[in-house]
A and B are shown apart, each in its own frame.
Chain A
Amino acid sequence: MTHEELLQKLYDETMVGNGPEVIDLTNQGLEDGLTPDQLLFDALIPALEEVGARFERGDWFVPEMLIAGKAMAGALEVLRPLLAATGTETIGKFVMGTVKGDVHDIGKNLVNIMLEGAGFEVIDLGVQVAPEKFVEAVEEHQPDILGMSAFLTTTMPMFKANINALEKAGLRDKVIVLVGGAPVTQEYADAVAADGYAADASAAVKLSKDLIAKQRAKATA
């Protein structure tokens, strides 16, 4: 297999979510002298981007997105130590959690998988995350983005409580805050002064990338 063929195969197998094959091809690519960067940016990430695009067009469905993301996550486990050693900048760091009073996590987990698939480092705080836990995690991990999920109209007000807690701790301007979940709307996100809202996992990845790019452009300007 030429390098080009291998990258194409890795792209194809990632798209269809063939986990074991994706890990094999990643290892084989490294043995054949491809760099972690090439595997990531010339095969894995484009594959996930294509999956996201197809999902957004309504051509592909949640399970397809899920298995592609999982396959990609497997490859990343192989690549992560190598990428760290070569000093490749991660796309961004994301702290994620379902708010206090709420135990719904399927949507949140899906977003995590797609974010990891897109090259983000994701720290998942789980469900029932209290405001002080969010604050602690932002202090400890210094993420680019904090994502909060709520599935109930009763737990959505925790967004505001968490944002207030960040403000109180002097951390609000240090992190981008995104919100999501079934009953959440853009309007509601605006009302609680979040920085963004995404309706699904694919939209969350896109929005995260956009906002980080803007942030970094601002920082270097």
Chain B
Amino acid sequence: MHTTVSSPSKTVTIGPDQPFCIIGERINPTGRKAFQEQLRAGDLSQVLVDVDEQIAGGAHILDVNMGVPLADEPALLAQAVQMVQERTDLPICIDSSVVEALEAGLAVYQGKALVNSVTCEEDRLEAVLPLVKQHNAAIICLTNGDEGIPVPWDERFEFCKKLVDIVHGKWEIPLEDMVIDTLAMPVGAEPQSAYHFFKTISAIQEEFGLNTTCGASNTSFGMPSRHALNGTFLAMAAGAGMTSAIMDARSDECVKAVRGSDVMLGKDEYGIGWIGNYRPPASA
């Protein structure tokens, strides 16, 4: 199945026969005090710094989140979306847990956006899906309900089924516009979580063929050498069938891991893409 997202001049396709889709995650002030203060003062210049770094690192889509406590998130997100679109032709993943912010971002976005995200909770689905439909966007759907995030893979898979019933069945959003986020959890706090994650991905791939994603950096929370651990997780998840991830494209280890998975899975034939990216400087 192919999920497409676009800007006015560029279309990116997510799918099992496509290169692993890197959704650059860093354009986000969470946990960044200085950035938050700048945003509250109306200074969005850091957004462009982050955008440039994600592009340089190899991002295919840019996740833009303006979740700043005590600020006007809808206005900030709309402004950021416009700034990013002036800077680059990469499509945007509009990221907020505030419905009004998603609405404001979608209203100014040019092209077909990816929306991040909706959970399998009735009130969230009722609030977010009309916007997705109205703007003909694609939507990241999280496999959790209102009672917490289940660890066992079969429970997450049940949420996926329910999401298909509601998002596709009830709201008639095309299946190819659904990207399932099977929730990467800190493996240092939940030792079996990665195993269940991979199982969920495989089950979704087999049953529905839907595209899948996750916030990969969660996996290594609280651990040393996080990039290497995230990279291992990403490559294994790609092996299980995951087709995209919201990840930090500045991390060489993570980007190499997913590009390496493209070579291993035969998506990057003869490793020509890999060679192009990593060819040593010509000898004299």
Report which A residues bind B (CB closer than 8 A): 61-63, 66, 103-106, 109-110, 126-128, 152-156, 182-185, 187-188, 191
Who on chain A is nearest to B187 by CB? Answer: A63
Min distance, Cβ A112 to any Cβ of chain B, angstroms: 12
Residue pair A106, B98 in contact (C-beta under 8 Å): no
- A106 CB contacts on chain B under 8 angstroms: 185-186, 189-190, 221
Residue pair B69, A66 in contact (C-beta under 8 Å): no
- A109 CB contacts on chain B under 8 angstroms: 189
- B185 CB contacts on chain A under 8 angstroms: 106
Can you sample 23 A-B contacts with CB below 8 Å? A61-B188, A61-B222, A61-B224, A62-B221, A62-B222, A63-B188, A63-B189, A103-B145, A103-B148, A104-B149, A109-B189, A127-B147, A128-B147, A152-B67, A153-B30, A153-B67, A153-B69, A154-B98, A155-B97, A182-B30, A183-B69, A184-B69, A191-B70
B97 touches which one: A66, A152, A184 (CB < 8 A)? A152
Residues 173-188 (chain B) with a chain A CB within 8 angstroms = 185-186, 188
- A62 CB contacts on chain B under 8 angstroms: 186, 188-189, 221-223
Who on chain A is nearest to B218 by CB? Answer: A106
For the complex, what is the distance from the CA of A66 to the CA of B146, rounded to whole Å?
26
- Assign chain B's interface to a size class: 20 to 34
Using A61-B222, A66-B189, A182-B30 as known contacts, say yes or no to A103 and B144 having CB atoms under 8 A apart.
yes
Report which B residues bind A (CB closer than 8 A): 30-31, 33, 36, 67-70, 73, 97-98, 144-149, 185-186, 188-190, 221-224
For the complex, what is the distance from the CA of A156 to the CA of B98, rounded to whole Å?
12
- A126 CB contacts on chain B under 8 angstroms: 148
Min distance, Cβ B127 to any Cβ of chain A, angstroms: 11
- B145 CB contacts on chain A under 8 angstroms: 103
Of all A-B residue pairs in the complex, the 9 with the closest CB atoms, nearest first, are: A62-B222, A63-B188, A153-B67, A154-B97, A103-B148, A152-B97, A188-B69, A62-B188, A127-B148
- B97 CB contacts on chain A under 8 angstroms: 152-155
- B222 CB contacts on chain A under 8 angstroms: 61-63
Residue pair B147, A103 in contact (C-beta under 8 Å): yes
For the complex, what is the distance from the CA of A139 to the CA of B31, rounded to whole Å?
34
Min distance, Cβ B97 to any Cβ of chain A, angstroms: 4
Using A106-B185, A106-B190, A183-B31 as known contacts, say yes or no to A153 and B98 having CB atoms under 8 A apart.
yes
Min distance, Cβ B145 to any Cβ of chain A, angstroms: 8
Most chain A C-beta atoms within 10 Å of own C-beta, residue among B36, B67, B69, B186: B69
Residue pair A105, B70 in contact (C-beta under 8 Å): no
Residue pair A103, B146 in contact (C-beta under 8 Å): yes
Min distance, Cβ B233 to any Cβ of chain A, angstroms: 15
Who on chain A is nearest to B37 by CB? Answer: A187
Min distance, Cβ A33 to any Cβ of chain B, angstroms: 38
For the complex, what is the distance from the CA of A182 to the CA of B223, rounded to whole Å?
16
For the complex, what is the distance from the CA of A152 to the CA of B145, rounded to whole Å?
15
Residue pair B188, A66 in contact (C-beta under 8 Å): yes
- B189 CB contacts on chain A under 8 angstroms: 62-63, 66, 106, 109-110
Residue pair B148, A188 in contact (C-beta under 8 Å): no
For the complex, what is the distance from the CA of A12 to the CA of B273, rounded to whole Å?
52
A153 touches which one: B73, B144, B190, B223 (CB < 8 A)? B73
- A61 CB contacts on chain B under 8 angstroms: 188, 222-224
Residue pair A156, B223 in contact (C-beta under 8 Å): no
For the complex, what is the distance from the CA of A188 to the CA of B223, rounded to whole Å?
27
For the complex, what is the distance from the CA of A6 to the CA of B201, rounded to whole Å?
48
Who on chain A is nearest to B33 by CB? Answer: A185
- A63 CB contacts on chain B under 8 angstroms: 188-189, 222-223
For the complex, what is the distance from the CA of A184 to the CA of B33, rounded to whole Å?
11
Min distance, Cβ B65 to any Cβ of chain A, angstroms: 9
